Chains A and B, each alone.
Chain A
Amino acid sequence: MDTSDELLLDIQHLHTAFRVHDHFYDAVDDISLTLHKNEILALVGESGSGKSTLATSIIGLHNPRNTKVTGDIMYNELNLVGLNEALFNRIRGNDIGMIFQDPLSALNPLMRIGEQIAESLVYHTKLNEKEREARVLQLLEQVGIPDPPLTAHQYPHELSGGMRQRVMIAIAIACKPPIIIADEPTTALDVTIQAQILDLLEDIQKEIGSGILLITHDLGVVAETADTVAVMYSGQIVEQGSVYQVFEHPLHPYTRSLLRSMPQADSDDEELHVIQGTVPSLVNMQRTGDRFAPRIPWMPASSHEEHPVLHEVEPGHLVRCTCYKTFYFPDEKEAAAAGAPQNANEGE
């Protein structure tokens, strides 16, 4: 990524809290991120880490009665937090395109594909009907649909999953938005289709120069497509950096555990690494100290910071808490022996 590229989105200290039994609980807790032109920023985490909540906060899809969003999301001198609905409608689709995970439930089953794509053109452009039709066909062709005139007249249920996802992308890029948010765009697809869709996203990005916020739980997808990565756990960013920094020198215990639990072992007797415990729910989340600490109980309390903050270990590579310095896996005996002061269990 070229950092000199124009800054598109500047998120500072964003909090998104949901109301549960008359209390507000932070699902997104003090997140700061930036998205530049031509950048693919991947947001990784398990379900419940708050990654989709962050995305829906950016495009303002939360019900203000049950959700409190605070902080700043700056887009071209405009703060998207607390923006009124009329202004937001001008931004959605035109400036920020969104690709949802499940195209069958995101597309309207009663509208023909062509009409659905044309919808945002009606709101955001001054094209007349003829021009819109031409643009729809051009978009369908751009996303690699074999017979655009036919598809434009079909309904969502007549298309396969991969084709539906292509239609979603066509809708998202209809107005050439500078920002595209893709929430798990390939999770429901077969691997070969997934590869095609990711290639398509990259091609489109090169063509219109958007910044893409890619939300996924698939580390392989991130390694293949992203420029920068932010790993989320319990509503916070625990590690952030370029894709090379995060995958080649992962530091935070959570990132390292995730990479280790991927099935890629060659030996068939080898057990997969399991992260102890479970992702805490919104209400039961521990909000002081290191939130990942309960899942690495063999690490002494002294290795964690009292109020973990992001440390810059390399330019652009941020890690939360200091526990990464002494972190080891329980089965790494050599590392434990050579490493920091801790109580080795399998000592004698």
Chain B
Amino acid sequence: MSLIEIKDLNIHYPIRSGFFNRITDYVYAVDGINFDIEEGETYGLIGESGSGKSTTGKAIVGLEKVTSGQILYNGQDVTNRHERKKIKYNKDVQMIFQDSMSSLNPRKRIEDIIAEPIRNFESMTDTEERDRVKELLDIVGMPSDSIYKYPHEFSGGQRQRIGVARAVATHPKLIVADEPVSALDLSVQAQVLNFMKQIQKEFNISYLFISHDLGVVKHMCRNLAIMHRGRLVEVGTREDIYNNPQHIYTKRLLAAIPKVNPSGREADKAHRREVEREFQDHQDKWYDKDGKVFPLQQITATHSVALPPDEVTQIKSEVG
């Protein structure tokens, strides 16, 4: 049994218009997705802005109302609030946000920021609590005298590490990390990613790693899913997605990553333009008549692609 199972998750926002402000249509932010996260693994969710990846992450921590579908935690349904409360789900699932400046309260000291989840879920004396906060700061490599400081006194990378410390404060089983390093410089990004990996090993935490950066995801995740227009277009292991991409959208994303190899850049560019042309010209082949992504079809044990059924049999025969 997986730690988290997402079953046919739908999140739709109503569009109201007209004289009586009636619901005239819906925005299908998340439109029927399924995936599982195993214990201790890092699952990557990749997509461009507007693909619904952050909405999915928020739904898992319970910050977004689910329209239909189920989220199972250790086999128990945690889709609505009462069920989450019963099993202390909110203690076991925490979140790291992208923008550390706006996710840390500017008027609270670091001690209070990190202690907040502890105060919510555990009863500790003041000294126990302070020791725990210092211990957490130590885990993320920050000096213990920073508990008296305020968020603005730290640099971006340090603030992001405070966010990590807050997320691990209650010994969670799963951390939803929504673009945790997108706002950071390269060297600081490496630092935060290393900390995340260390903490994972130490406490056996699972991550749902939401990102648009395919390089970072490749480094962090063994299994990943690519999301586009509210649906999953391709799901598989790292090797499946990076070495054998099947959907044009995945190919397009991979082709767009700038490579650190100046001598191959003309070839890369030609390849990118070719993929882009195919993406533009053959929309009907890859998307159905409403412009939606097809349902996922399995091609190998680990690899699924959203393609029309006849295409899949063709690929299967090539693979087999």
A contact set with B: CB distance below 8 Å: 46-47, 161, 190-196, 198-199, 217-221, 223-225, 243-244, 247-248, 257-259, 261-266, 268, 271-275, 278-279
Contacts and interface: CB of A to CB of B under 8 A. Distances in A.
Nearest to A191: B256
Given A161-B49, A244-B263, A278-B155, A224 B258 contact: yes
Closest 4 CB pairs of A and B: A220-B258, A263-B219, A272-B190, A261-B190
B261 A219 contact: no
Contacts of A264: 215, 218-219, 260
B122 interface: no
B260 A217 contact: no
Contacts of A244: 262-263
Contacts of B157: 278
Interface string B109-137: 00000000000000000000000000000
Interface string B213-235: 11110111010000000000000
A274 B194 contact: yes
B311 to A, nearest CB: 22
Contacts of B213: 191
Given A194-B256, A263-B193, A275 B187 contact: yes
Interface in B195-228: 197, 212-216, 218-220, 222
Contacts of B261: 223, 247
Interface residues of B, number: 42
B215 A262 contact: yes
Secondary structure call for the B interface: helix
A89 B156 CA distance: 36
Interface stretch (B25-33, B264-272, B286-294): B264-272
A258 B259 contact: no
A272 B194 contact: yes
B191 interface: yes
Given A194-B256, A219-B186, 16 more contacts: A47-B156, A191-B213, A193-B48, A196-B276, A217-B186, A220-B257, A221-B258, A223-B259, A223-B260, A224-B259, A263-B216, A264-B215, A271-B197, A274-B187, A274-B194, A275-B187
Interface string B241-260: 00000000000110111111
B278 interface: no
B204 to A, nearest CB: 15
A314 B252 CA distance: 38
A192 to B, nearest CB: 5
B302 to A, nearest CB: 15
B221 to A, nearest CB: 8
A220 to B, nearest CB: 3
Contact of A247 (B49, B220, B255, B262): B262
Given A191-B253, A223-B260, A224-B268, A263 B48 contact: no
Given A263-B190, A264-B219, A278-B155, A217 B262 contact: no
B64 interface: no
A216 to B, nearest CB: 10
B277 to A, nearest CB: 13
A339 B52 CA distance: 51
B263 A262 contact: no
B8 interface: no
Contacts of B189: 261, 263
B185 A219 contact: no
B212 A272 contact: no
Contacts of A272: 190, 193-194, 219
B256 A271 contact: no
A263 B215 contact: yes
A275 B194 CA distance: 12
A274 B257 contact: no
Contacts of A191: 48, 212-214, 253, 256-257
8 contacts: A195-B272, A196-B276, A223-B261, A223-B265, A257-B187, A259-B260, A263-B216, A268-B219
B258 A223 contact: yes
A195 B256 CA distance: 6
Contacts of B212: 190-191
A192 B256 contact: yes
Contact of B49 (A190, A196, A219): A190
A175 B238 CA distance: 47
A271 B269 contact: no
A219 B260 contact: yes
Nearest to A271: B194
Chain B CB count within 10 A is highest, among A46, A193, A266, A272, for: A272
A224 B257 CA distance: 10
A275 B188 CA distance: 8
A248 B262 contact: yes
Interface string B171-190: 00000000000000111111
